[in-house]
Amino acid sequence: MPDRPLVAGVDTSTQSCKVVVCDAETGEVVRTGRASHPDGTEVDPRHWWDAWREASGDGILDGVSAIAVGGQQHGMVLLDEHGEVVRPALLWNDTRSAQAADDLVAELGAQAWADATGLVPVAATTVSKLRWMSTHEPDNLARARTCVLPHDWLTGRIRADGAAAPDDAWTTDGGDASGTGYWSAGTREYRPDLLRLATGTELRLGPDLLAAGTDADALARRVVAAGATRLLGDALLDRRLVAGIGNMWLAELLWHGRLSPWAAAGDVDLAALAGALGWAQAEMRRAVAGARPVRAVYRRAGRPCPRCRTRFYYRGLGDRNRTAYWCPACQVPGPAERAA
């Protein structure tokens, strides 16, 4: 039955990465793969990516139409503004944060923590590990722009096809978020006040383009305010300004708005940028609902632009796996770059 519907489940546990491919209609197990993770309570997340590639190799995912990822909860993966790992991840079973957990409980009270988040911090919870970081590795914490969980880190890398950061925002689910110590199971919202209590700093992103209530006009003003000396493409990828835009959505929204990634952010027409961001919001929400994302530009260097038939160009944008794709005729101004 070569055309039967196949789905894959991925378990990225403490010990290993396991992949199981099943027939979506019958539940029959069709193929499996497995690769080990290193021992220890502190692990470089790159090992998880290597294990995923090994477990999912040799054609195991051929014909698979959907993938679900599950894995170890709690833990802490700190990421810088480029989505790169700041230091090895601390896993749920790393107990160096036990005293930090006790301190947090003493400062706020066990009942207050339970009322706010549904849990009382222990060594395993992410908020305790962040407090430990603030005391023992403040320089590393200062480099961090956000924190994701081990399971979520692998999900994001799979979605981004191995790039340092996914093409849109990192994602999680209520089950994982409820174990962080800074998410309310009652309101289903993050508690930045508890993050500040734990770290003394802001571990959060700019406004999320996809989040309900995010205003495209306000985001456009925020980006333009980045100044005339900063490139538009660079400003849109700065998660301190706006979260949810990666390489793919950058390429598509700028092409849609006829805006160049090489334009000075402070010189961009506000209405045009707001319109492009609003279009991206709508497309992202369609994609979340199951529609295939629009892809006219991304990874199409050397192919003809659908509007004017000029070949798309590409060029690295800064560093850390950031790349701009654009049409030099439709999206001006911009340097004439070599097509791929």
Q: Look at residue 156 in the predicted model and tell me its pLDDT.
A: 86
Average of pLDDT values for 153-158? 89
More confidently predicted of 236 and 11? 11
- Provide the pLDDT for residue 321: 52
Mean pLDDT computed over every residue of the chain: 85
Higher local confidence (pLDDT), 109 or 240: 109
Domain count, the chain: 3
pLDDT band at 340 (very low <50, low <70, confident <90, very high): very low
H or E element in which residue 49 lies: helix 46-55
Task: Check whether residue 193 and residue 278 sit in a common domain.
Answer: no
Output the pLDDT for position 25.
93
| Residue that has been written with the tokens 């003394």 in this structure | 200
Which of residues 103 and 316 earns the better pLDDT score? 103
Instruction: Give me the domain span that covers residue 111.
Output: 72-204
- Both 144 and 76 in one domain: the answer is yes
**pLDDT confidence bin for 204, thresholds 50/70/90:** low
C-alpha angle 244-270-165 in degrees, rounded to nearest 5: 15
pLDDT at 20: 97
Do residues 64 and 84 both lie within one domain?
no
More confident residue, 138 or 22: 22
**Model confidence at 225: pLDDT above 70:** yes
Residue 205 has pLDDT above 50, yes or no: no
Residue 97 counted as domain residue: yes
Tell me the residue length of the chain: 340
Give the pLDDT confidence score for residue 336 in this predicted structure.
Answer: 39
Question: Which of the 8 DSSP states describes residue 208?
Answer: B
Residue 337 lies in a domain: no
Domain contains 335: no
Question: Do 99 and 198 belong to one domain?
Answer: yes
User: Looking at 146, 174, 204, which one is the last position of a domain?
Assistant: 204
Q: Is residue 168 helix, strand or coil? A: coil
Q: pLDDT-derived band of residue 170, with 50, 70 and 90 as boundaries?
A: confident
Per-residue pLDDT at 167: 45
Does 120 share its domain with 160? yes
Residues 80 and 186 in one domain: yes
Report the pLDDT value the prediction gives residue 286, as an integer from 0 to 100: 80
Over residues 260-310, the pLDDT tens digits come to 999 989 889 999 999 999 998 888 778 767 677 778 998 899 999 999 999
Q: Which CATH number belongs to the domain containing residue 317 in this structure? A: 1.10.8.50
How far is residue 277's CA from residue 230's CA, in Å, rounded to a whole number? 18
Domain termination residue (choose one: 71, 88, 120): 71
Q: What are phi and psi of 311, to 5 degrees?
A: -70, 135
pLDDT for residue 337 = 40
pLDDT at 302: 93
Last residue of a domain, one of 47, 71, 95: 71
Alpha-carbon distances of 12 from 19, 59, 95, 155, 257, rounded to whole Å: 9, 19, 21, 10, 39
Mean pLDDT score, 27-50: 95
Please check whether residues 167 and 267 belong to one and the same domain: no
Mean pLDDT of the region 87-105: 95
Note whether residue 145 is domain-resident: yes
| Residue of higher predicted confidence among 203 and 13 | 13
pLDDT tens digits, 98-139: 999 999 999 999 999 999 999 999 999 999 999 999 999 988
Whether 210 is covered by a domain: the verdict is no
Q: Is the pLDDT of residue 208 over 90?
A: no
Please determine, for residue 319, whether its predicted confidence score (pLDDT) is greater than 80.
Answer: no
Q: Check whether residue 232 and residue 147 sit in a common domain.
A: no
Q: Which residues pair with 208 in a beta bridge?
A: 243
Measured CA to CA, the distance from residue 131 to residue 333 in angstroms comes to 46
| pLDDT (tens digit per residue) in 47-75 | 999 999 999 999 999 999 999 999 888 89
- Is the same domain home to 166 and 260? no
Residues 116 and 190 grouped into a single domain: yes
Per-position DSSP letters for 106-126, written without gaps between them: HHH-HHHHHHHHSS---TTSH
Quick one: 77 and 64 in the same domain?
no
